[in-house]
Structure 1
Amino acid sequence: MKPELKPLSEQVMVITGASSGIGLATARAAAERGARLVLVSRDEAALQALVDELGQGQHEAIAVTADVGVEADVRRVAERALAHFGRFDTWVNNAGVSLFGLIEQPTMAENRRLFDTNFWGVVHGALTARAHLRQHGGAIITVGSMLSDMSIPMQGMYCASKHAVKGFINSLRMESEHAGDPISYTLVKPASVNSMLTQHARNYMEKEPDLPPPVYAPRVVADAILQAAEHPLRDVRVGEPAVAGPSFAFLAPGMTDMVLRTFAIDLQQKDESDHRSHNGNLFASAGDGSLQESEERKGMTFQHSPYTEVVTRLPDPFGLLRKGWRA
């Protein structure tokens, strides 16, 4: 059954990881367009600050403090959404954590915790959302990464988790379509985004973590998410490198490995020599209650991706975008 998605002004949207970065940008942008929101994060103070901020603009939102790695927490999110709004129309799996370092450096507990959030959090969210949305339709949007399609050094477990997310969402989509569910499944694959990811990451490197350029603003990803909330899209690559990088890796894998092992390690470390040891947000929120979409960084942060803006808005009379032929 073909999904029929509502205008954002008529939607109730659940957003995980809503207290910072891409999730925060998505919440603000969705509220501006009239969506009612269910905001999810482990940072209770930041969530309440966001609800208060949106309320000042006459936007309706509720906060649910939850850990997406805990299935019972995710079910409670859905229950709160249904109790308050009577339904939800779009579920955005956005919560994520990261760690930087050689693959042998993190503990197994840290690796498993990363998967609890990045992979199992998506599983919990998607299955919980599907159980509700298969009755009346809607969208399940998952924030993956360009690293769902390729890998780089120093983020091995993060890459593995994003590959796992891609495999799960693709299989779930096929099974759901076979069952006739009126649900759109979108995997958003951003390039480097100036969110709070590096500030919140567990870091084993000699210097502070950084992201390889070019780097895009969280609002660029948020715009793609909102486009997918109104128009069924299969995959959305955000930023030109999200297209070029995986394509090059597919066509010339050996050369890609050589380039990345030569340059990518240094590109993921800031020039400053000072190293701030921090555990990041693997096991608990690293937030301080403030609302931050981006960190302060040197270099340019791009506010637009011409490729993404064009591709997500092309006429699609034959459903090619939904089937991934252009995305």
Structure 2
Amino acid sequence: MTIRLKKLSSQVVVITGATSGIGLTTARMAAGKDAKLVLAARDSDALDKLAAELRAGGREALAVPTDVGLQEEVQALGRAAIKRFGRIDSWINNAGVSIFGRYRDVPLEDQHKLFQTNFWGVVHGSLTAMELMGENGGAIINLGSELSERAVPLQGMYSASKHAVKGFTDSLRMEVEKDGLPISVTLIKPAAIDTMFVPHARNYMKNEPELPAPLYAPEVVAEAILYAAEHQQRDIFVGGAAKMVSMEGHGVPRVLDKVMNLMMFRQQRKDQPSAPDRSDALYQPNGLELRQRQGGHENPVLERSAYTYLTTRGKPLALSLLVGGALLAAWKMSAPQAAPATHDA
């Protein structure tokens, strides 16, 4: 099986959740690279405005209102892409939403709805893309999270949905490889990102929710997504913080339980009370579309990730650093040891 992914300038790219945050940033960035775009979201007005914006810049864009939780609508999205452009080269399953609150406070109906979007939306999109790409191949890119690797309190069902996305994506990749299909299957695992994630989330806490530091810019995720559209990748952690959470979760899970109990209940809540008429996007768009970032965080937002760069575009440099570090460590271990110096910790 040989996978040959095209340059973005020659690609037809489907993006779900395209009118906000990571999806919106990815759509605009892909348009800047001359990709042909098929844009999907629930808000038809926002989709039309985005498509018009991109067309005004000389790009080709098709808007297809879609609820990814409904299989028939996702299949219709795929058919619309084929009818307009004749093929699909990359399919990005990005749509998602969260809920803040303890399990005992969140109605099961809401938890089911979150899973319908976050997990089943990825399943519907991936299976539709695999069927339509067929022997021509392409890239399926699914948005997981650092919480695909490690759950947190107060976003329990969101964590569970991202664990499920990882399990589905990993098993789908094996089946694709077994069948010899020329399709790259990638899982993107971002750290906390400065998007409209919090304003779109449903809240069952007394205070307004917040994302703990460190936060990264959505452009960092979009760059990783579009890199995966051109280069076969198994998975990409976006932000060194995401990789660190994964390593700690696997290496010292019980210690991390204790740390999160000490910190995450406080760090995911602002001081301000949650408004009684607060809107969210769990069941329908809440009028906050076409915004890439939330802003207004107490902590700074990181515009770049050296870790993500080194593990994707900077592989030769990363390898050199790793080899150099290993040689230095070996030299230190073999060199005569001097008497230890004393210092204050």
Distance in 1, matches of 2:240 and 2:183, equals 28
Distance in 2, matches of 1:233 and 1:37, equals 21
- Secondary structure of the 2:119 match is helix
Distance in 1, matches of 2:11 and 2:112, equals 34
Distance in 2, matches of 1:59 and 1:85, equals 13
Offset at residue 285 of structure 1 (A): 1.4
- Secondary structure of the 1:271 match is strand
Mapping of residues 247-266 of structure 1, within 5 Å? 247-266=247-266
Paired residue for 1:208? Answer: 208
Offset at residue 274 of structure 1 (A): 5.0
Paired residue for 1:140? Answer: 140
Paired residue for 2:113? Answer: 113
Which structure has the larger Rg?
2
Distance in 2, matches of 1:65 and 1:133, equals 21
Mapping of residues 37-48 of structure 1, within 5 Å? 37-48=37-48
State which drifts further: 244-253 or 181-190.
244-253
**CA displacement, residues 100-150 of structure 1 (integer Å, 9 cap, x when unaligned):** 000111111101100100000000000000001122010000010000000
Offset at residue 277 of structure 1 (A): 4.5
**CA displacement, residues 136-184 of structure 1 (integer Å, 9 cap, x when unaligned):** 0100000100000001100000000000010011001001100000000
C-alpha contact (below 8 Å) 1:203/1:279 kept by paired residues: no
Paired residue for 2:195? Answer: 195
Paired residue for 2:271? Answer: 271
Distance in 2, matches of 1:4 and 1:284, equals 38
Paired residue for 1:234? Answer: 234
Paired residue for 1:293? Answer: 292
- AA matched with 1:158: Y
C-alpha contact (below 8 Å) 1:103/1:156 kept by paired residues: yes
C-alpha contact (below 8 Å) 1:89/1:137 kept by paired residues: yes
Offset at residue 273 of structure 1 (A): 3.8
- AA matched with 2:305: S
Mapping of residues 99-178 of structure 1, within 5 Å? 99-178=99-178
Offset at residue 45 of structure 1 (A): 1.1
Distance in 2, matches of 1:135 and 1:98, equals 36
Unaligned runs of 5+ in 2: 317-345
- AA matched with 1:196: M
C-alpha contact (below 8 Å) 1:136/1:182 kept by paired residues: yes
**CA displacement, residues 20-53 of structure 1 (integer Å, 9 cap, x when unaligned):** 0000000000000010000000011111111111
Paired residue for 1:323? Answer: none
Q: Which has the higher helix share?
A: 2
- AA matched with 1:66: T
- Secondary structure of the 1:140 match is strand
- AA matched with 1:309: Y
Paired residue for 1:27? Answer: 27
Distance in 2, matches of 1:237 and 1:187, equals 9
The answer to whether the aligner puts 1:69 opposite 2:76 as a matched pair is no
State which drifts further: 11-20 or 292-301.
292-301
Mapping of residues 49-60 of structure 1, within 5 Å? 49-60=49-60
- AA matched with 1:54: L
- AA matched with 1:105: D
Distance in 1, matches of 2:146 and 2:70, equals 26
C-alpha contact (below 8 Å) 2:7/2:230 kept by paired residues: yes
Offset at residue 276 of structure 1 (A): 4.9
Paired residue for 1:221? Answer: 221
TM-score of the superposed pair, with normalisation by structure 1: 0.94
Higher RCO (Cα < 8 Å, 6 or more apart): 1
Taking only aligned residues, the RMSD between alpha carbons, in angstroms, comes to: 1.2
Count of residue pairs the alignment pairs up: 315
C-alpha contact (below 8 Å) 2:205/2:274 kept by paired residues: no
Identity percentage of aligned residues: 48
Distance in 2, matches of 1:101 and 1:274, equals 12
- Which stretches of structure 1, 4 residues or longer, exceed 6 Å deviation after superposition? none
C-alpha contact (below 8 Å) 1:208/1:276 kept by paired residues: no
- AA matched with 2:55: G
Paired residue for 1:5? Answer: 5
- AA matched with 2:69: G
TM-score of the superposed pair, with normalisation by structure 2: 0.89
- AA matched with 1:110: D
Distance in 2, matches of 1:75 and 1:84, equals 14
